[in-house]
Amino acid sequence: MSRHDSVVPVSPDAAAAVQRRFGEVAKFPAWALLATLIAGSALSAAALIDDEATALGVALVGMLFVGLLVVYKPHLGVFVIMSTMLMSYPAALRGVGPFTINNLLGIALVFLLAFQLYRGHDYWFLKEPEIRLLMAIAMVLITMQQLNKLIWPDIKYLLPKVQKSGVDAYYGEVDVSARWIFELLSRIAFTIFFVNWIRTPRQLKWVLFIMSFCILAVVPTLGPDMVKGEAEYRITSKLVGWAENINRFAFMMNVGIALFLYLAIISKRILGKLMWLACAAGSIPLVLLTASRSGFLGLCLVGGLLMIGDELKRGVKVVAVAGGFTLGVLVFFFVLTDAHRERLMNLNPFNAEEAVAERVEGSRSTETRVITLGEALEIIYEHPLTGVGLGNFRWVNAYLNGSYKPPHNSYIWSAAEGGIFTTLLYLILFGYVYRRVQKLRPKYKQHPVLPFFPDWLNTYLILFFFFSIFADVWLEVHIYFIISFSIVLTRWAIDEELRGRGLPGVTLGTPGERRAIVRQLYRPRATPG
């Protein structure tokens, strides 16, 4: 009798064990609803006392309620944290001092993850190479930052003061190292939370909806960039950090265009398709109105990737790209001002000096970037192994060269602040992510919920690589999102392959439960006496 002949069916009890999930229940318990009513009554009573009692009561009840909700539905906590990483909440919802939305949710999820690891002893996410590389990058950056405190002691106080709103002040915050380190570690923690608790394709689809909403939410706040009164014709938004910077805003709108097109492709209702297509079409003029040359080139890149992709049939692709091109041409000639057009067409970085002399729009920005990159290369030459420390480039460059400008290039930034080992680790990380995404693309072409999702992820990744040439976007949330998406998709693909062969999947149940299923699968049949 062959090995396959000895396989027995899985018992219902064993199969039910695998189906158990940690951290979720069938319905929200009635006692929690009762506790909510009691808390509301208590807050109403506190409001009759004074405002301080009300604020304290709201904070305590909010912490308790959020903690309970996250225990039962941890993916909701991931949703909220992701939304705060993409946009700013109103002041009334941010919290007070350390009691912020992210901090409270992060603490709750840390305790939940610790309890999950205690119960299951499943440290699978630490075996993922991308998460290990993120931890290695964080370790190197923090080490170099601490080491450079010895090399550049009190450098911020060696700089001359400048006038800011009529008050003497330094160039920026005196000490930002703690903030940089906290953001770096918290984003790695978010990645771990994401891959642990985004467990179904429907939940991941909701993640895409949240990203779309956060991108569209900046549209009502758009206005001219009035910084120093030099670029009144360029639009931006003050709602979130990435929208305040014009080039980052253009990058995110390009990501949004690709995302809106993808949601239009997978939408099953004609109304949904039309809505998402309208969002994509409406984003094209916004990219051009920023007068961002990197945004303009990124827009061309999105169209090219859509043209060579497999998401649409050839005829539909031609119509979509031609429609987007026609809309862009109409906006270019009939909506943009002469300053917009002049800046967008000034793409040659080698004629900066002549263009500055002729007052060509955007040429001074190009010249400044070229000079800053040269200064960054000199700093890398002087400090190739250690860099100047996380968050220190502007200070050191201001001290050495009198310029408080960032390098505007992620590849150069990583070497200037973290040393060449940091850059090498980042490049290795990107190699792993790119290879993972390419392997996923053929596996999701016919997915029932998220067909062609890795193709959109591929566009997101390539846009990220491209904009890294023009901005220090490695400090932002995008690479963490891309890594989280790709790991989750890989887990589901492996799970589907294992179940197709009659084996237990990797995403449900504890390691002990999965081993029990495997033992039962290959237990020999009892021969009749």
Closest CA to 343 of 256, 258, 247: 247
What residues are paired with 237 via a beta bridge? Answer: 222
Residue 207 confidence (pLDDT) above 90:
yes
Note the pLDDT of residue 191. 96
Please state, in angstroms and rounded to a whole number, the distance separating the CA atoms of residues 246 and 108. Answer: 35
Can you give the three-state secondary structure of 398-457, one letter per residue? HHHHCCCCCCCCHHHHHHHHHCHHHHHHHHHHHHHHHHHHHHHHHHHCCCCCCCCHHHHH
Last residue of a domain, one of 122, 157, 187: 122
Give the pLDDT band of residue 391 (cuts 50, 70, 90).
Answer: confident
Residue 504: CB atoms within 10 A of its CB come to 23
Q: Who has greater pLDDT, 16 or 480?
A: 480
Note the pLDDT of residue 341. 84
Give the pLDDT band of residue 1 (cuts 50, 70, 90).
Answer: very low
Residue 262 included in any domain: yes
Please state, in angstroms and rounded to a whole number, the distance separating the CA atoms of residues 387 and 145. Answer: 9
Note the pLDDT of residue 99. 65
Note the pLDDT of residue 165. 38
* Number of residues that make up the chain: 529
Q: What is the pTM of this model?
A: 0.81
Residue with token string 């923090």: 142
Residues 437-445 have a mean pLDDT of: 93
Residue 85 included in any domain: yes
Residue 395 confidence (pLDDT) above 90:
no
pLDDT tens per residue, range 279-326: 999 999 999 988 888 889 999 999 999 989 888 888 888 998 899 999
162-164 and 99-100 strand pairing: unpaired
Residues 238-267 have a mean pLDDT of: 87
Residue 426 confidence (pLDDT) above 60:
yes
Residue 523 confidence (pLDDT) above 70:
no
Residue 246, amino acid = I
Residue 23 confidence (pLDDT) above 60:
no
Residue-averaged pLDDT of the chain:
78
Tokens of 138: 């964080």
Note the pLDDT of residue 163. 38
Give the pLDDT band of residue 511 (cuts 50, 70, 90).
Answer: low
Residue 227 confidence (pLDDT) above 50:
no
Q: Who has greater pLDDT, 176 or 413?
A: 413
Note the pLDDT of residue 309. 84
Note the pLDDT of residue 197. 92
Residue 320 included in any domain: yes
Residues 219 and 112 in one domain: no
Last residue of a domain, one of 95, 122, 149: 122
Would you list the DSSP string of 21-66? -TT--SS--HHHHHHHHHHHHHHHHHHTT-HHHHHHHHHHHHHHHH
Domain of residue 64 covers 21-122
CB distance 269 to 255 below 8 Å: no
Cα dist. 124→113, 127, 129, 179, 286 in Å? 13, 5, 11, 29, 42
Residue 516 included in any domain: no
Q: Which of 141-145, 193-197, 390-394, 491-495 has the highest mean pLDDT?
A: 193-197
Please state, in angstroms and rounded to a whole number, the distance separating the CA atoms of residues 426 and 26. Answer: 42
Residue 97, amino acid = G
CB distance 262 to 311 below 8 Å: yes
Lowest mean pLDDT among 89-98, 122-131, 295-304: 89-98
Residue 193 confidence (pLDDT) above 50:
yes
Please state, in angstroms and rounded to a whole number, the distance separating the CA atoms of residues 38 and 32. Answer: 10
Note the pLDDT of residue 509. 52
CB distance 377 to 408 below 8 Å: no
Residue 49 confidence (pLDDT) above 80:
no
DSSP-based three-state secondary structure for 234: strand
Q: Write down the H helix ranges in 267-360.
A: 270-289, 293-308, 314-334, 338-345, 352-357
Please state, in angstroms and rounded to a whole number, the distance separating the CA atoms of residues 123 and 105. Answer: 21
Q: Who has greater pLDDT, 227 or 187?
A: 187
Please state, in angstroms and rounded to a whole number, the distance separating the CA atoms of residues 362 and 355. Answer: 9
What number of H helices and E strands is found in the chain?
23, 6
Residue 15 included in any domain: no
Please state, in angstroms and rounded to a whole number, the distance separating the CA atoms of residues 512 and 82. Answer: 32
Residue 247 included in any domain: yes
Please state, in angstroms and rounded to a whole number, the distance separating the CA atoms of residues 395 and 412. Answer: 16
Q: Which of 137-146, 296-305, 479-488, 492-501 has the highest mean pLDDT?
A: 479-488
Count of structural domains within the chain: 2
Please state, in angstroms and rounded to a whole number, the distance separating the CA atoms of residues 453 and 201. Answer: 10
Residue 276 included in any domain: yes
Residue 467 confidence (pLDDT) above 80:
yes
Residue 61 included in any domain: yes
pLDDT tens per residue, range 327-380: 999 998 998 888 888 888 876 655 554 544 445 555 667 777 888 888 899 999
Cα dist. 471→92, 214, 413 in Å? 32, 21, 9
DSSP-based three-state secondary structure for 168: strand
Dihedral over alpha carbons 372, 373, 375, 381 (to 10 degrees): 160
Tokens of 361: 């729009």
